[in-house]
Structure formats: C-alpha cells, structure tokens
Structure 1
C-alpha cells in the first residue's frame, strides 16, 4: 500500500500548500431533481406497486434484519443497522414517495428520527451507541443516501439532518486521522461517503468547506486505490480464481465493491478538478464490460470477477449498485455511454433475477440458466449451491434489503437539469411525469407516455411558463436515420451535436427548443436486430434496449415457507422442455403487439408484447454439472428436425438460454430472412 500512502500525503500536502485558496468542488454536468418531482406512470408505476406489495414493502413487518426486534426508550430498534437497516431505508424512502404509500413513508420517517435521536455526544450514528462494539464507517453510507432524498422531499427535516451530519463528519475526520473506522468493507466503499460529503458541500457547507474537502481526501487515502484497480495494467482480464492477486484484499475484485467503486473516480474528480480522473473512470468502465460484461448489461462476478462465461453469476446487489453508479457517472461527466448501460441493466438484468410478484429473488443470475435449484457441484467458486434459487435470502441476505433501491432510483435519476438549472434532460426512457421549476421561476410539467422498452414510440407532453431547452437521450443503438420526430406549434429540434465532448459511443441528444405553453412531441426510435459475439462462437440477440432469450418452460416447487410470512417462500425451478438449441441468426424475425395493454406484473413468462422467432435445432449440449449448462458447443450438429422457436425479453425469463450456439439452417434461403447480416452489437 506504499503507493497509496504517497498519494494520500500528496493530496493532503497539496491542500495545505494552497490553504489560502477557497476550496471548491468541480461542477457536475447535470443535477438531480428532488425526490417527488419525478413520478412513474403507466407500466413503470405498476412495477413500483408490485414491488411495494412484494417483500420490499412488507419486510419491515416480519424480517429480522429490519423489523422491530427490541424497544429502547420508546423507540423501535432496527437490528443490524450498520447494513440491513441502512439498505432498507435507502430504498424505502424513494419507494414510499413514488407510490404515495403513507405507511412506508411513516416507517421511513420513524427510522430517520430514531437514528438521529440516538446520535451520541461524540457524533456517532448507529447501533454501536452505548456499546463496546467496534465502530466502522461504511454501514452509515446508505442511510445518508436515503436521508438526503428524504430531506429534499421534505425540507422541514433538513436542518436537523444537516446539524447531525456536521457532528458526524467532525468525528469521522478525527477517526480517519487516527486510522480508525476503516476495515475491509469500508476501505472499498469510501466513495459513498464522499458523495454525501459533496452534497453537504454543495448545499450546506456552513463554513466547513476545508473540513469537508479534507475528509474526502482522507477517505480516498484510506480506501481502495480505484485508479490503479481499474488500470489496464492491473485489471483482471479473466475469471480471477486462478490469477495471482496483486492486492492484499480480495475485496478489490469483489463484484459489488467494484460496482460501487465505479463512483469513486468521478467523486475524486470533483475535489481534484483533474480531468484524468474522469478519463480513468471511463477506461475502467470499458475494461469491465470488455472482459466481464454480459448481454443483460451487468457484469460477471459470482462474488469475485468471473469473466465472460454464460454459466457464471451476477449478484443482484451488483445490478442495483451498477445502476446507481452509472447514473452518477453520467451526471458528473455527461458521457451518454453510462446512461445507455444503466437502461440496459434496468430493463434486462434487474427484472430477470426477481420473481414477477417480487416476493422472491436470486443471489446470482446466469445468462444461460437451465435450473434454479440446489447446485452440487455449482459453477460459482465463492458462493454456495443455493445461490440461484428464488427466495427470501438465498446464500446471503444482503440482496433482500438492497435490491429495492433499483426501480425507485432508476426513476429518480431519469430526469436531470443542467448545472444552471435552465434546461431539463430526459436521461432514461419510460412512462414518467415531472413537475419542477427551472431557473427564472419557469414552472415545467412533463408527461412521458410510452410502453418503452416494449414499444418504439414515445409521446411527450410539456407545459411550461417560459421557453426552455428540453433534451432527450437518444440511445446509442438508434441510427441517425432512425430517429423520427414530430413536434407541434413553434417547437424546433435537432438530433446530435458533434461539438459536445460528451456525446460519445454513438449515443446523443434530441434537442427540443420548446415555447411557453403546451407542446406535444412524438419520437420514434425504431431499432434493428443486432447480434453480439460471445465466447465459444456463440451469439446473443438484441433489439433496442432489450436482450432476448429462449424462455425455458418450467415447473415450480416450494422448498420452504417463512413461518412469519406465508408469501415469503423459497422456489425451485426445473426445466420441463428442451433447451439445447442452436439458432440461425439470419432467420431472426421481430414481432410487436402495440395494441396490447400491458399487464401488471409485466416481467414474467409470455406477458411481454414483443418477441422474436428464429430457426433452431436441437444439438448435443451437455450439462457442466448436475444442474447447469456447459459452455455452448462451438461446432454444433443438429440431432433433430429444424423448428421455429420464440425468443422473449431476457427480463421476463427465469430459466433461459441467451448465448446460443450457431448453425446454418435450411430455411435461410426459403423465405425466412434470407442471408441478411445483422449488425454486430458492441457493449
């Protein structure tokens, strides 16, 4: 760690050398809106309701890690606050507001006040107060995220939180000076505290700017050296279980830590003002998905980084933390590749690893997943044989309390303003509404009506007091010729702007200069089928934001039921149909039923109004163990007649094949899709 210590001294020394200068933070390209100003509509609102009616909205009633387990001084004591309670609060604050659940909101408020009520004289927050339990910093960080959203929603709570935070920050700074409060997990997650400190600096510095910057620097000095971990020289290019680790900590290769760590370099940029930090963040992001990326948008890490194989796992916590980090990276840098990735993860990896009623979830999902049951042996070197069953807490409980942040924070980061708050930008596409006031008192109301990602059409209605610029992200998979825009009244528009440094990777903006009053815009984002080359000469299939998979027919077995809550069950899924298919990608055809009213839940077997057909045949494709698929065969031979199979959106599947061996069908020249060459999909 010598290199790390040198960096730490350099950071602190640089600040001391310029003590006369007022410390500043670099501006972000975009600013978020307060909680409650963006609301889900249509199927997205229905999805939040399903989550609220699932385990997320009920765990406070029965689940030991967040339910009332004791009473102290008349207040409910939430057990294991250093992790589970903070995760739960971080998710339930936005969840309760987005679905207008007074019960969940009151529970969140109760938790907020309990934490602040029990802050001790030193400034410490958490269950360690009044005990001899060791004090580590990181468990408080998700609480800070939830509290920030809460006080932005209800500003009357802000003074109390800000005062408590300043007290805690003084203590944390002193602990860091003494080398206290940082253990293995805290050393990798320091960036989360840095984001909370930056919120304080931007909004409530109260003359403590130097202390706030100094604390950010000391956190970075005490923590994982992300600029080195994400470097070309040291970043692992394959599954890590057989590699020599250059770090003292395996946790530097831990999937969830890496997903959270992606926020570290943009957070660092804000207090160093060094563009090289953003360049390093971008390079590290690209390395991750080049060597460990999945067609679902996530990356492979069944605990530790695990390469590109389709039978390895991605943790659910990784999925939601990647979504949050990607949003922050976009807001700081303006690079749309991060937003493209977040949307792909949200509409594929997130729903795929949770049951449709959202009462059960996996610890790990697989791109090729032919069973969800006890796997002995299993393909996950670091995780147990129950890692891919669906239930209350298979393998580890962290994902149960952490996954509910995914959908709410996708919504709360879906629209942003420019740094000067004069323009509004739609980052993510889905049915939502916005009520906000831009610079100059410009009250703006936006309604986005769409079935996207199950449709190519987006309707936008805007009412504004004054003219303003409305920007909409155009996903990177849309060709310049594909964007079709219809605007009414005096609105004008353009697509893309090559002078903007942050329009990279093919993604760009639709610029709409809207007049005062009401405007209506219709945007068509037609997509083409694209093919992604995967290991073993296999392919993945995409169209627009969706990855497609063969949805394997399954049986469901209840393994156990929680005695405290009958709906909380562990489920085993077994395939009851053939899955050993090779496909001919040249025969792919896409279908869309836009007249269908979307059901709730939508992410389940056969419910999506979009699908594909493809020519396929059964091949010899063995299991790699008793219950998981081996690698896709590289030169498959048909063992049966060709047939047409249906591919569904990945997120609707629970058992699936999504990385297919390839063969040449007889149907390619008989009226199917001919010899059409689909574009290669770059992730």
Structure 2
C-alpha cells in the first residue's frame, strides 16, 4: 500500500544537463573522485573491510590524544556511508563506472559478512549501533533501484526481518532504520515489516518519553509538543520524515498531521534565511549570525522530499529548491575543493579560529573551508546534496505520469501505458524565468504535471509557441493532459520579483528562488600547496551597510555563463548607508551581530547584491535603517523570582499584583544598578531556577519629541511578557 500523491523515479531515468551538469562534473572531479585525499575515514577501506584498529575520537581538530578502539566506534561507518551514498548516486547520474565500482566493493563485502543473527553491517566491530546501516541502506536502495540487484534486495529484506523490534525502537538513532524497513516492505509486500515499523515507532515514543536525558531522540510526544524543544539538527531532520513515511505506507493520517505540526513549529522558531533550520549543532533560533550544519542541508531536504511525495504540496518543493540553490553552494568553495561544517547568512570571516557558535566557539575548524573537518560527517554528507536534488527533480504521480517537481536543466526518460518518451528540460533556472520542456520518443497520451512556485504570481505557458491557458493549480501543481507528439515544446514562464523580507531589526532580499547578499570582498589563503588544502577566507573590504525599507531595487541581468556561481548573471542594485557598530570583527576574529543601535556615516551609496550562492563572505541580513537612541536607565527594580508553570495559561499563573505603588515597589523589589553600557543583566544578578518569573520596573525619560524606546533582550531560555 502506498498512498502518496507522488513517488520517486528510477535513478537511471534522470540525467543532469546545463548548469546542473556543470555542477555534477565539478563535484565529481574535485571532491567525490578524490575522496581518499579527505583523510579519515575516507582513506580507509570503509565498508569494504573496515576502518582500522583505532580512530581519532576528539571533535577538536588534530587532538590526537583522544583515541578509541574501532570496536567501539560507529561514526566512521556513518561518515563513510554518507560518502558512499553520494558517490553511488553521482555515479549513476554520470554513468561513471569508477565511482560505481567503489560502491560495489563496499556493498559486496558487507553482504558477504552477516553476523550470526543474519544481520548486516556488524562485521567490522563490536558496536551494537544500527544507525550507520540506516545511512548505508539509502545508498544500497539507490543502487538496487537503478540496476535491479535482486540478490542484494533479498538480503536487505532478510536483514530487516531479522532486526528485533526492540533494537529498532531503542538505541541512538536506531529508529531511523524505519526508512529501510518501509522501503523493504514496498519491495516485498511483507505486512510484518509494516507492522514492525509501527510497533517500533510506538516503542520509541514510550521509551524516550521516560528517558528525556537522551536528547538526540525525536519521539512522537516531543514532535507534537506545544512546549517547544531544542534538538540536534541532523537528529531532527532524520527523524521528522519517519511519521511521513509511516503515513505513506499505512494510510493513517495522524502520522502526517504529527509531522507537519512538528515541522511547522521548528521552522517558525528556528528557520534560517536559506530555508533550513539553524543548528550549531542544536537548534539556535532565527538570528542570521547562527549557523546551519552542511549535513542538515542534505538531510533536511531529503526529509522534505517525503513531505512532498506524501502531500503533493508545492511549498515543500519550493523549500527544497531554496536550500539547494542557496544554502548548498553558499557553504562550499565554488570549485568543490572545500566546504564549511557550519555556514551562516551573515559571515564576514571563515577561518580555522572564527567559529562564532557556542558549539566549540573559536576552537573547532567548523567555519573554515576544508575537506577534513574535525568531525567528518559533513565532509561525507556534502557528496549527497547535488545527486539527491537532481534525482528528486522528477517524480511520478499516482498513475505513473511524469511530474516536474524541482527545476533545473535535465532530462527524464519514462514509460506510460507502454509508450516510451523523453522530456528534456532546457533552462538556465534559477537565473532565468523560462523553462522549456521538449518531448521526444513515442507519441503518448498522458498528463504532465509541473509546479508553480509560491513566490510566482503570474505564471504563463505556451505550447509550440502559442499561448495556452494555465490550468487551475492543485497545491501549487498544474497538469496538462494531451497527446504529446515528438517535437512538442511546453514552455513555462515564471516571472520573478524582488521581495524584501523584514524580521525583527534586519531584512534580506529575495528574487524568485534566490536569496541575495552583499559579497564581502575577501582574500583566500590555503594552508599548503595542495588543491584540497584547508582554506581560510579573510575580509578585505567593508560590509557595514544598512538599507532603508523604502528604497527601490534595480535588477541587473547579464548572459548566463556555463557556471554562474563564478559570474553571477543576476544582480540587485540598491542604495545603502554605512553605519557604525557593524564595521569590525568581534574580538578581531568573529562575525559581528546585526546591531540594534548605530549611527549613519556619510552619504548613501549604491551597492550590488549577488546571489547567496556566489558568495564566500557575505551580509545577507542587513540592519534596518531606523534611528534609535539609547536611553540609559539609572534605576531598575526587579521583584523576587517565583515559580512559573509554562504548561499553564497566563490566567492560571500566580502572579504578584502587576501595579504597585512606589512604596510597594521598594518593599517587594531589588534595586539593581545597570552596567556602564546602560544594560541590566538579570542572569548576572540572580541565579534563577528553571521556570522562574520576575517583574521589572524601570523609569526612563523621553527625548524632546516625547518619544522613548525600550529594548529588552531575552536569551535562549527566557520569555518576556508586556
């Protein structure tokens, strides 16, 4: 049983072209084919015999003092499975036998060495972890779907039949093997596998609801909680797709409802400008200074693909495109010779010591562009982003008719009612508004479905040069049904408009699926002469610009080159104002925060914004050009801290009276002296318990225009009520 609106296609049915082909060639030549130069564990046999006797275990790069016997380590197999998944998919897309043969060797060794329980993936060490297999299976699934390896298919079906439900439901990320269990159910139609997946999901929820100390697990009660939570970004991305898949194969709508509710909450509280959650490595809010892990670029988009297949909602495809065309290229060197572990919308330096996140602040190499980070998960995962996007750009509807789900130059070969056809998608998207679908092969009477992005308001289509009425959209997808003849061309035009997106005291600009940034002038410095040597990127020019909300924006276009990341074919010109308090690195080594208070400097000037994808150092979130004055408080009165139950409504809280006389204030409150900067830090003055509440009372004087502004800042663990 499968009830999705869309479903995946055979990996061999899709081929990249145009810009995507150039992307794929660069990745293959400069990253994927040179995997052994990217150090441990990629310089070992990996799943083709194991990674060796000992491994470096420290997360801080080059700390060789911490070593762990490989018998206890699962992460080298997770990291190498990431690489192998990307490698086999890219090998399929590129028809590259060298890449495919590397994967075949790893697959063969693993299949030939089951343990006594006939479980796969445990021949390398004594680790009981099933998490690496959840990753490796995705690579095996792509290979089996592409080449029809029936022996491998049956071995995996047997593996998941033999995997105990208790092991599947309990253990670090073990639950993510539900993806493999359900895909084996789709292969075999063995109802016991679906039953096992549902039972394990219930067990996982029951167990981890009582073991909240296991913070990496996203169990059902946490997913749907109204109280909020902070979670590891990869753990969320891997687990949020599981109820979607359970819905796809069981038809139980509550699974999908849970997943959509949980996803919406995370995006509301933690979405970053390029479309994915912040995670350093845990969720970190919406501030543009916070980073997102390169692993999450892939894993979150992979999860969104299941949401798209389950619902047929274009909003999920829109987000997948936004992540791929912005977050992904924004986190790599454009020749695919280095990547960041953590990347941000605002980053004005990217060196070995510039990690501004509180997760190993200043100590790990996470912001530097390199292929051998202290933790190699992102180095493995980056190989998957491009092939996953291309392979999911085409899907099938419930009747096996083609769906153009994600846009980019490519071709799709399919069969409908016995008729073989090919659709060539010719476009310079996302840098151009026109997409041409050219049909060849046999004449075929079938529906063809394509997406109208949510940002597009006036889409239009032509058929063989003549205007055609755009069909009514369903969840953002339109369908044209006709007898498609060889040589037919359906052209889709998606007009793009500049959009200013305002948030708190900053704003950013979008144009169609592209996010735009100020490209901070920079210099690059390799640590040695190797082309894959770690690369530091230093600022070499100013970035301290603010942009008023009402200034016009000019769109400047030029011809699209073979690789537009190098020469951006679309730019935005806008008037900007230099400001103070945003013109220097924090402590000389970190990207500064977007300032709330500043002063304008000199006259306005015209600056160019370029696609986020074309930048290494950038300002994406600009301070809003609003004049504010700091009015220092000379006295702050704060009440005692008393219990606050976040599970109850405001009306149910046991508050002190909100309005007190001056005498009552003095009797009930502590008199605090503000810092020299005019700020009053409550955490410094009170060692408050969790879930505590306090009142603040303060008096300020307005300026001559009788205007006054109060700025109150809350950290990650605080809320403010007015």
- The two structures have a TM-score, normalised by structure 2, of 0.77
**1:167 to 2:146 alignment:** no
**1:263 to 2:241 alignment:** yes
**1:49 to 2:62 alignment:** no
Greater RCO structure (CA 8 Å; 6+ sep): 1
**Matched residues in 2 for 1:94 and 1:365: separation?**
25
Q: How does 1:7-22 map to 2 (within 5 A)?
A: none
Query: Residue 581 of structure 2 aligns to a residue in which SS?
Result: coil
Which residue matches 1:415? 394
Conserved 8 A contact 1:492-1:513: no
Q: Quick one: structure 1 residues 267 and 70, their matched pair in 2 at CA, closer, same or farther if it must change by over 3 Å?
A: closer
Q: Quick one: structure 1 residues 338 and 541, their matched pair in 2 at CA, closer, same or farther if it must change by over 3 Å?
A: same
Q: Quick one: structure 1 residues 227 and 122, their matched pair in 2 at CA, closer, same or farther if it must change by over 3 Å?
A: closer
Which residue matches 1:397? 376
Deviation per CA, 1:319-354: give whole Å up to 9, x if none.
110111111110112222111111100000011001
**Matched residues in 2 for 1:140 and 1:40: separation?**
29
Query: Residue 533 of structure 2 aligns to a residue in which SS?
Result: strand
Query: Residue 77 of structure 2 aligns to a residue in which SS?
Result: helix
Conserved 8 A contact 1:598-1:608: no
Which residue matches 2:87? 92
**Matched residues in 2 for 1:608 and 1:593: separation?**
9
Which of 445, 457, 461 is equivalent to 2:438? 461
**Matched residues in 2 for 1:180 and 1:489: separation?**
55
Q: How does 1:117-516 map to 2 (within 5 A)?
A: 117-126=112-121, 128-129=122-123, 131=125, 133-155=126-148, 157=149, 159-173=150-164, 176-177=165-166, 179=167, 182-186=170-174, 190-191=175-176, 193-205=177-189, 208-222=190-204, 224-236=217-229, 240=230, 253-375=231-353, 378-382=356-360, 384-421=363-400, 423-438=401-416, 440-463=417-440, 464-479=442-457, 482-488=458-464, 494-497=470-473, 500=474, 503=475, 508-516=476-484
Which of 513, 517, 539 is equivalent to 1:575? 539
Deviation at 1:592, TM superposition (A): 4.5
Deviation per CA, 1:523-552: give whole Å up to 9, x if none.
1111111111223x1101101000000000
**1:116 to 2:116 alignment:** no
Conserved 8 A contact 1:136-1:182: no
Deviation at 1:304, TM superposition (A): 0.8
Q: Quick one: structure 1 residues 57 and 287, their matched pair in 2 at CA, closer, same or farther if it must change by over 3 Å?
A: same
Deviation at 1:413, TM superposition (A): 0.6
Q: Which stretch has the larger CA shift, 458-467 or 524-533?
A: 458-467
Conserved 8 A contact 2:170-2:203: no
Deviation at 1:662, TM superposition (A): 2.3
Q: Quick one: structure 1 residues 471 and 180, their matched pair in 2 at CA, closer, same or farther if it must change by over 3 Å?
A: closer
RMSD: 2.4
Deviation at 1:87, TM superposition (A): 1.2
Deviation at 1:197, TM superposition (A): 1.8
Query: Residue 460 of structure 1 aligns to a residue in which SS?
Result: strand
Q: Which stretch has the larger CA shift, 642-651 or 267-276?
A: 267-276
Deviation at 1:218, TM superposition (A): 1.6
Q: Quick one: structure 1 residues 295 and 369, their matched pair in 2 at CA, closer, same or farther if it must change by over 3 Å?
A: same
**1:614 to 2:574 alignment:** yes
Query: Residue 372 of structure 2 aligns to a residue in which SS?
Result: coil
Deviation at 1:641, TM superposition (A): 2.3
**Matched residues in 2 for 1:444 and 1:111: separation?**
35
Deviation at 1:56, TM superposition (A): 2.0
Deviation at 1:47, TM superposition (A): 0.1
Deviation per CA, 1:365-406: give whole Å up to 9, x if none.
011101001446833335644211111223421101111110
Conserved 8 A contact 2:456-2:494: yes
**1:521 to 2:499 alignment:** no
Deviation per CA, 1:173-219: give whole Å up to 9, x if none.
2xx34x58943333xxx23x2222222212223xx322442244225
Conserved 8 A contact 1:636-1:663: no
**Matched residues in 1 for 2:348 and 2:256: separation?**
40
Conserved 8 A contact 1:226-1:265: no
Conserved 8 A contact 1:311-1:628: no
Which residue matches 1:674? none
Deviation per CA, 1:651-670: give whole Å up to 9, x if none.
111100000012289xxxxx
**1:660 to 2:615 alignment:** no
How many residues align? The count is 589
**Matched residues in 2 for 1:91 and 1:574: separation?**
31
Which residue matches 1:249? none
Deviation at 1:70, TM superposition (A): 9.1
Q: Which stretch has the larger CA shift, 326-335 or 219-228?
A: 219-228
Which residue matches 1:18? none
- Unaligned stretches of 5+ residues in structure 1: 1-24, 241-252, 666-683
**Matched residues in 2 for 1:100 and 1:85: separation?**
21
Deviation at 1:611, TM superposition (A): 0.6
Q: Quick one: structure 1 residues 580 and 216, their matched pair in 2 at CA, closer, same or farther if it must change by over 3 Å?
A: same
Which of 543, 568, 592 is equivalent to 2:511? 543
- The two structures have a TM-score, normalised by structure 1, of 0.81
Query: Residue 158 of structure 2 aligns to a residue in which SS?
Result: helix
**1:67 to 2:49 alignment:** no
**Matched residues in 1 for 2:218 and 2:40: separation?**
35
Which residue matches 1:530? 499
- Unaligned stretches of 5+ residues in structure 2: 53-74, 206-216, 628-722
**Matched residues in 2 for 1:657 and 1:368: separation?**
5
Which of 549, 557, 566 is equivalent to 1:593? 557
**Matched residues in 2 for 1:108 and 1:616: separation?**
51
Conserved 8 A contact 2:304-2:317: yes
Deviation per CA, 1:437-489: give whole Å up to 9, x if none.
12x2121210011110011111110134321111111100001xx11211129
Conserved 8 A contact 1:492-1:512: no
**Matched residues in 2 for 1:64 and 1:377: separation?**
22
**Matched residues in 2 for 1:123 and 1:392: separation?**
36
Query: Residue 640 of structure 1 aligns to a residue in which SS?
Result: strand
Which of 533, 537, 548 is equivalent to 1:584? 548
Q: Quick one: structure 1 residues 435 and 592, their matched pair in 2 at CA, closer, same or farther if it must change by over 3 Å?
A: farther
**Matched residues in 1 for 2:453 and 2:163: separation?**
41
Deviation at 1:63, TM superposition (A): 3.1
**Matched residues in 2 for 1:619 and 1:416: separation?**
48
Conserved 8 A contact 1:637-1:663: no
**Matched residues in 2 for 1:355 and 1:555: separation?**
13
